[in-house]
């Protein structure tokens, strides 16, 4: 129970960090009043400066580490303290996994009101060079007009110019460094977010763990492709043999969306290939595909093994399917797979992948999942042995969950990158009579607070 008023919290004080929040912040308490401490590890005893105070909590930064946690280590990246991408890199990796499991447990208990056992987090096979999608915002220096590209400082829009990032393949650093120099040579300016001026807004790289090929997309503040961009694309494409294609994305809107609606490939191919579950997939600029293919492969194999051991020749509904990765991985153990995805480009790629892999038992639908659920119930009335739900971070709507229940005879397998929305949705499903069989976390994003979960749900049908 809170016994202290926020006005009585001093600006400078010494605290011990108890645990980690779901956003990767250390949690300390003063007579029940919560203080979220940036860059803190459970077990740290630290002197902090308290900043913004709210009724129930305050925010603070570390002034001095008086006694470090036994799990605190020196980050392997020299930019970790200023770059906002790897929040937990100063924590020993095995302990990161324990903390992520606690984040999932807290979400299930506090949001879902669920008493369920959470499996130990399955670690990423690689904890460096694992990130195969890079999205760098771009700006330029005020006087020299030097192109800057990197990540933002935590909680700000101050760009950190990243020249070396150990969580992405090393050749990506070389590509980005070349783009910085070549863009300036071509007279292409960096974007000014405040003035909504300048040319180059983002550099996006999709790169393959399978064959090391890369697709480069330059997001620009323009309604059309101008000649300087064509020259830059040509320079980039000819810089290295592993660059499979270079494209321009037109994004003239003042928005936080990285890519606009229109992308034109100026050089090479419009996709890279990635291999999962012994199948080769085509991945384009706007296709959803997991950034860590090593952990993704573990997840797909885990789901495939579970289904094959529990249901013989199932009919499977793959909702929010993207390029139908789950459906294609599961096709070999299924009687039939029905795949639903609203992005037309992803469905077109899925169709190509099916044909190239000789898979004939997957049925593709290009439409919103909720609309498909309603149509399926109204017209065909089919029911599926297994439904795979792999929604965005916001989770599923109640209506989508209701439809999934009506369409599923046995199991729902819910894949989520957000423990909070997963817990909310699982609470709703249990209220409808479902039973949670298992929750298995996978570390898709080492050194961050993010955690992927695969939940097996038994339906009441």
How confident is the model over 93-130, as pLDDT tens digits? 999 999 999 999 999 999 999 999 999 999 999 999 99
| C-alpha angle 274-348-366 in degrees, rounded to nearest 5 | 120
Largest separation between any pair of C-alpha atoms in the chain? 69
> Which pLDDT band holds residue 420 (cuts at 50, 70, 90)?
very high
| Identical fold, 1-71 and 100-125+292-458 | no
Residue 143 Cα distances to 147, 208, 442, angstroms: 11, 37, 46
Interatomic CA distance for residues 289 and 205, integer angstroms: 13
Interatomic CA distance for residues 136 and 216, integer angstroms: 12
Interatomic CA distance for residues 86 and 185, integer angstroms: 32
Residue 193 Cα distances to 82, 105, 365, 439, angstroms: 20, 39, 38, 41
* pLDDT at 438 exceeding the cut of 70: yes
Does 2.40.50.140 match the CATH number of domain 1-71? Answer: yes
**Residue-level pLDDT at 158:** 87
Interatomic CA distance for residues 447 and 81, integer angstroms: 13
**Residue-level pLDDT at 3:** 59
pLDDT tens digits for range 195-236: 999 999 999 999 999 999 999 999 999 999 999 999 999 999
Please list, in sequence order, all residues whose beta carbon lies within 8 angstroms of the beta carbon of residue 413, skipping any fewer than 6 positions away.
303, 306, 307, 386, 387, 388, 389, 454, 455, 456, 457
* pLDDT at 1 exceeding the cut of 50: no
pLDDT tens digits for range 334-392: 999 999 999 898 999 999 999 988 999 999 999 988 889 888 888 877 899 999 999 98
3-state SS assignment for residue 36: strand
CATH of the domain spanning 133-276, picked from 2.40.50.1070, 1.10.10.60, 2.40.240.20, 3.50.50.60: 2.40.50.1070
**pLDDT, the chain, mean:** 94
Interatomic CA distance for residues 89 and 94, integer angstroms: 11
Per-residue tokens: 25: 């912040």
* Domain range annotation of the chain: 1-71, 100-125+292-458, 133-276
Q: Check if the beta carbon of residue 314 is closer than 8 Å to that of residue 307.
A: yes
Q: Give which of 173, 357, 175, 346 is closest to 275, Cα–Cα.
A: 357
Alpha-carbon radius of gyration of the chain: 24
The DSSP code sequence of 116-182 is -PBPPPBPPS-SSS---EEEEEEEE-TTT--EEEEEEPTTS-PEEE-S--TTS-HHHHHHHHHHHHH
Fold of 100-125+292-458: Rossmann fold (3.40.50)
Per-residue tokens: 282: 């085509």
Mean per-residue pLDDT, 292-298: 97
Interatomic CA distance for residues 232 and 238, integer angstroms: 10
Within 296-451, strands assigned E span 315-319, 336-341, 362-366, 384-389, 408-416, 435-442
pLDDT tens digits for range 25-75: 999 999 889 999 999 999 999 999 999 999 889 999 999 999 999 999 999
Tell me which H or E stretch contains 453.
strand 452-458
> Which of the residues are catalytic?
417
| C-alpha angle 134-139-141 in degrees, rounded to nearest 5 | 135
Q: Check if the beta carbon of residue 315 is closer than 8 Å to that of residue 332.
A: no
* pLDDT at 261 exceeding the cut of 80: yes
3-state SS assignment for residue 119: coil
Neighbours of 312 (CB within 10 A): 10
Per-residue tokens: 339: 């795949």
């Amino acid at each position: 129970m809170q016994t202290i008023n926020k006005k009585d919290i001093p600006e400078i004080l010494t605290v011990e960090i108890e645990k980690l929040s779901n956003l990767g912040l250390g949690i300390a308490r003063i007579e029940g009043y919560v203080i979220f401490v940036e860059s803190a590890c459970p077990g740290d005893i630290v002197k902090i400066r308290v900043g913004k105070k709210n009724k129930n909590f305050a925010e603070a930064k570390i002034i001095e580490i008086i006694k470090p946690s036994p799990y605190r280590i020196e980050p392997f990246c020299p930019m970790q303290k200023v770059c906002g991408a790897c929040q937990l890199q100063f924590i020993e990796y095995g302990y990161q996994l324990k903390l992520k499991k606690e984040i999932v447990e807290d979400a299930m208990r506090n949001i879902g009101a669920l008493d369920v056992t959470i499996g130990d987090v399955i670690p990423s096979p690689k904890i460096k060079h694992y990130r195969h999608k890079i999205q760098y915002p771009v700006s330029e220096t005020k006087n020299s007009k030097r192109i800057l590209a990197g990540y933002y400082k935590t909680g700000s829009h101050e760009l950190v110019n990243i020249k070396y990032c150990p969580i992405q393949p090393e050749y990506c650093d070389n590509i980005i460094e070349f783009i910085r120099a070549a863009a300036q040579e071509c007279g292409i300016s960096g974007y000014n977010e405040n003035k909504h001026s300048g040319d180059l807004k983002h550099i996006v790289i999709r790169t393959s763990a399978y064959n090391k090929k890369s697709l480069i997309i330059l997001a620009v503040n323009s309604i059309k492709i101008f000649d300087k961009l064509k020259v830059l694309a040509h320079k980039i494409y000819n810089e290295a043999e592993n660059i499979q294609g270079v494209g321009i994305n037109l994004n003239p809107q003042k928005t936080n969306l990285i890519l606009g609606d229109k992308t034109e490939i100026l050089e090479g191919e419009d996709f890279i290939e990635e291999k999962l579950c012994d199948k080769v997939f085509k991945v384009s600029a706007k296709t959803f595909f997991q950034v860590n293919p090593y952990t993704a492969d573990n997840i797909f194999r885990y789901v495939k093994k579970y289904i094959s051991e529990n249901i013989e020749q199932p009919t499977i509904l793959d909702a929010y399917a993207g390029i139908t990765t789950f459906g294609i991985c599961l096709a070999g153990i299924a009687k039939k797979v029905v795949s639903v995805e609203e992005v037309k480009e992803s469905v077109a790629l899925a169709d190509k992948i099916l044909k190239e892999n000789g898979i004939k038992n997957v049925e593709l639908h290009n439409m919103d999942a909720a609309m498909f659920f309603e149509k399926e119930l109204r017209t065909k009335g089919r029911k599926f042995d297994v439904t795979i739900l792999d929604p965005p971070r916001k989770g599923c709507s109640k209506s989508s969950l209701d439809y999934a229940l009506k369409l599923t005879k046995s199991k729902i397998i819910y894949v989520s990158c957000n423990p909070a929305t997963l817990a909310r949705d699982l609470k709703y499903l249990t209220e409808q009579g479902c039973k949670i069989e298992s929750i298995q976390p996978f570390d898709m994003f080492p050194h961050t607070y993010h955690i992927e979960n695969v939940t097996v749900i038994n339906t009441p049908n």
